[in-house]
Amino acid sequence: MKISKRLQAIADIISDKSTVIDVGCDHALLDIYLATYKDCQCIATDINENALEQAKYNIKRFGIKNIQTVLTDGLNGIDVKPNDIVVISGMGATTIEHILANKPVSNKVIISAHNDWDHLRKTVTSLGYKISSEQFIIDKGKGYIIIEFVKGKSTYSDQELLYGPYLINNQNYLNSLYQGIKEIYDEIPDDNIEKANKKKRLDEIQSLLSKLN
């Protein structure tokens, strides 16, 4: 079974025989992969009825038994145990923060958000987590960040929260970030204040990159 590079990167950091709660499972392909190849027990949840129906259809199609499906908002009604791994992937940062703020969750949370990573790092670490790994992957031409949070304390500088304590040393990530900001910078008129802000950001990324060479 082939899953996207992004979902594969998430699956790769989940140990065999884990219990996984996949919040916003949609198609449930991650759960099907984990149940099939890693002997995981999965709880696949989604807020959207149609998405969950698709998940159920796929689970049946693959003949999987150890995936439970639940229609719910975030983790509402889910009995999360400390050793469960919570995966929240493919959503905006605000939705993810809403899901985490509503309930104490497990020792390990794997997050792949669309946006606002700095805010998300700040929020999740303030809930009593530290960052144990960060990955940047490019899947079908689009960049994705995957962060693994584990229970614990750590203090991060503003720059580490902005770029990521691991990704701040990742050349591919910094280059991709630079390119994205440069494209926006090039479109901003010279007399616009935002141009100076973007220039500051580009200089900062360049300085981080120069330290890696």
Ligand X SMILES: C[S@@+](CC[C@H](N)C(=O)[O-])C[C@H]1O[C@@H](n2cnc3c(N)ncnc32)[C@H](O)[C@@H]1O
**Interacting residues toward ligand X by CB under 6 A:** 7, 23-26, 45-48, 51, 73-74, 89-91, 95, 99
Q: Decide whether 95 or 125 has the Cβ nearer to ligand X.
A: 95
Q: Decide whether 47 or 127 has the Cβ nearer to ligand X.
A: 47
Structure-token pair, residue 155: 């203090």
Ordered strands of the 19-23 beta sheet: 67-71, 41-46, 19-23, 85-91, 108-113, 142-151, 129-139
| Contact predicate 20/82, CB 8 Å | no
Residue 77: CB minimum distance to ligand X, A: 11
Residue 152: CB minimum distance to ligand X, A: 25
Q: What is the DSSP letter of 81?
A: -
Residue 200: CB minimum distance to ligand X, A: 33
CA 92 to chain centroid? 10
Whole-angstrom distance, CA of residue 97 vs CA of residue 74: 10
Q: Decide whether 74 or 164 has the Cβ nearer to ligand X.
A: 74
Residue 81: CB minimum distance to ligand X, A: 19
Whole-angstrom distance, CA of residue 179 vs CA of residue 182: 5
Q: Decide whether 4 or 66 has the Cβ nearer to ligand X.
A: 4
